[in-house]
């Protein structure tokens, strides 16, 4: 009731009403002294219900004081979409058998067909290098963007160690390892001719510039190797031979070896946590040659 009195005072009552309020306030003040909060309520109630025949003031809003619009009710959270209705990744968008496909899977059980395949759209890759690199056009464009982003984000530099290798070039590399490492050692570190990802024109070996830990497992511990492992997928590249997947890929850990698979597939593999093409496409593990 005291709140109503004060509200009316703010709106500008007539002199007679103001006199009544003065009397009410005075009475309320005396009652506070006399008996506390309960007596205040009683005194105010008695005054408000006495035989007063004077004009009363409406509590309704005036034109200069619009009514407060209630807040819109907050909508209840909608139900989560049905997972079954979510679009699924199309794993058949590209061939995994055609050597011209950016999704082609090449391993010890899946040689290129033909084994002396050579891409028809190779270009020189305009990045720093130890050995002049060539890649297919799409893969080249992507790795140029990757190198630029790395330097912009870290202030460091990368370089190419090796990219496309023809069937004949791969034969020379493998035979050299065969002499130096023996059959088992060569097969663990180097693909036999016709089964190398380098022959697809989609793979590049990357190192730091200058070449700290080049083509060595310690590259994984450098800022360069760590950035590549975390960010290559953004540009459509996959770290093809992870340390914990030797029984699947058949090759030792190569933190420098990155295979272009396109941004769509690289993003899907990153989001699902699948790290090998064999596992993603449900293919047999390829720890050794068939």
- How many Cα atoms occupy the beta-carbon half-sphere of 103 within 13 Å? 18
Same structural domain for residues 120 and 17? no
Residue 249 lies in a domain: yes
Same structural domain for residues 44 and 125? no
Question: Tell me, what's the pLDDT at 205?
Answer: 99
- Decide if pLDDT at 73 tops 80: no
- Decide if pLDDT at 179 tops 80: yes
- Decide if pLDDT at 60 tops 90: no
pLDDT cut 90: percent of the chain above it: 69
Structural element, H or E, at residue 138: helix 137-154
Please check whether residue 212 is in contact with residue 225, taking contact to mean a CB–CB distance below 8 angstroms. Answer: no
Query: 254, 268, 278, 279: which one is catalytic?
Result: 254
Question: Tell me, what's the pLDDT at 207?
Answer: 98
Domain harbouring 147, CATH code:
3.30.1380.10
Question: How would residue 3 be classed by pLDDT, with cut points 50, 70 and 90?
Answer: very low
Same structural domain for residues 184 and 258? yes
Residue 55 lies in a domain: no
Question: Tell me, what's the pLDDT at 87?
Answer: 80
Residue bearing the bigger pLDDT, 153 or 13: 153
Domain that holds residue 130: 94-280
The count of domains in the chain is 2
Q: Mark whether 254 is an active-site residue.
A: yes
Distance, CA of 206 to CA of 224 (rounded, Å): 9
Same structural domain for residues 36 and 131? no
Residue bearing the bigger pLDDT, 194 or 32: 194
User: What average pLDDT does the segment 259-275 reach?
Assistant: 99
- Decide if pLDDT at 44 tops 90: no
Same structural domain for residues 157 and 258? yes
In this predicted model, what pLDDT tens digit does every residue of 84-136 receive, in sequence order? Answer: 556 899 999 999 999 999 999 999 999 999 999 999 999 999 999 999 999 99
Question: How would residue 290 be classed by pLDDT, with cut points 50, 70 and 90?
Answer: confident
Residue 69 lies in a domain: no
Same structural domain for residues 44 and 187? no
Residue 286 lies in a domain: no
**Final residue of a structural domain among 30, 48, 66:** 48
At residue 208, what are phi and psi to the nearest 5 degrees? -75, 160
In this predicted model, what pLDDT tens digit does every residue of 154-169 receive, in sequence order? Answer: 999 999 999 999 999 9
- Residue 63: count other Cβ atoms within 10 Å of its Cβ: 5
Same structural domain for residues 158 and 271? yes
pLDDT cut 70: percent of the chain above it: 70
- Decide if pLDDT at 220 tops 70: yes
Residue 110 lies in a domain: yes
User: What average pLDDT does the segment 221-235 reach?
Assistant: 99
Residue 148 lies in a domain: yes
- Decide if pLDDT at 255 tops 90: yes
Same structural domain for residues 140 and 41? no
Same structural domain for residues 247 and 112? yes
Residue bearing the bigger pLDDT, 167 or 80: 167
- CB under 8 Å, gap of 24 or more: what pairs does 22-29 form? 23/47, 24/48, 28/2
Question: Tell me, what's the pLDDT at 81?
Answer: 52
Same structural domain for residues 139 and 266? yes
Same structural domain for residues 24 and 115? no
- Decide if pLDDT at 74 tops 90: no
Relative orientation angle of helices 15-35 and 37-48, to the nearest 10 degrees: 150
Residue 222 lies in a domain: yes
- Decide if pLDDT at 37 tops 90: no
Same structural domain for residues 125 and 219? yes
Distance, CA of 145 to CA of 204 (rounded, Å): 14
Residue 234 lies in a domain: yes
User: What average pLDDT does the segment 248-261 reach?
Assistant: 99
Alpha carbon separation from 204 to 161, 236, 275, 277 (Å, rounded):
8, 12, 17, 17
């Amino acid at each position: 009731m005291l709140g109503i009195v004060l509200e009316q005072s703010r709106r500008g009552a007539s002199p007679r009403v103001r006199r009544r309020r003065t009397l009410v306030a005075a009475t309320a003040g005396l009652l506070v002294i006399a008996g506390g909060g309960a007596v205040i309520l009683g005194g105010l109630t008695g005054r408000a219900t006495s035989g007063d025949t004077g004009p009363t003031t409406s509590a309704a809003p005036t034109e200069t004081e619009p009514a407060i619009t209630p807040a819109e009710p907050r909508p209840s959270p909608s139900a989560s979409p049905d997972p079954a209705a979510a679009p699924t990744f199309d794993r058949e968008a590209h061939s995994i058998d055609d050597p011209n496909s950016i999704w082609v899977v090449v391993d010890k059980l899946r040689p290129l067909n033909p084994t002396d395949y050579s891409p028809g759209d190779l270009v020189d890759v305009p990045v720093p290098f130890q050995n002049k690199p060539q890649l297919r056009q799409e893969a080249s464009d992507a790795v140029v963007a990757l190198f630029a982003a790395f330097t912009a984000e870290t202030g460091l530099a990368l370089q190419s160690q090796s990219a496309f290798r023809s069937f004949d070039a791969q034969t020379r590399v493998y035979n050299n390892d065969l002499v130096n490492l023996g059959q088992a050692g060569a097969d663990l570190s180097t693909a036999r001719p016709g089964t190398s990802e380098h022959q697809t024109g989609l793979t590049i070996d990357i190192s730091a510039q200058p070449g700290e830990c080049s083509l060595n497992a310690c590259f994984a511990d450098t800022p360069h190797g760590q950035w590549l492992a975390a960010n290559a997928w953004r540009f459509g590249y996959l770290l093809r031979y992870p340390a914990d997947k030797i029984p699947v890929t058949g090759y030792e850990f190569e933190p420098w070896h990155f295979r272009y698979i396109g941004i769509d597939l690289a993003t899907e593999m990153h989001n699902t946590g699948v790290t090998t093409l064999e596992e993603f496409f449900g293919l047999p593990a390829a720890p050794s040659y068939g």
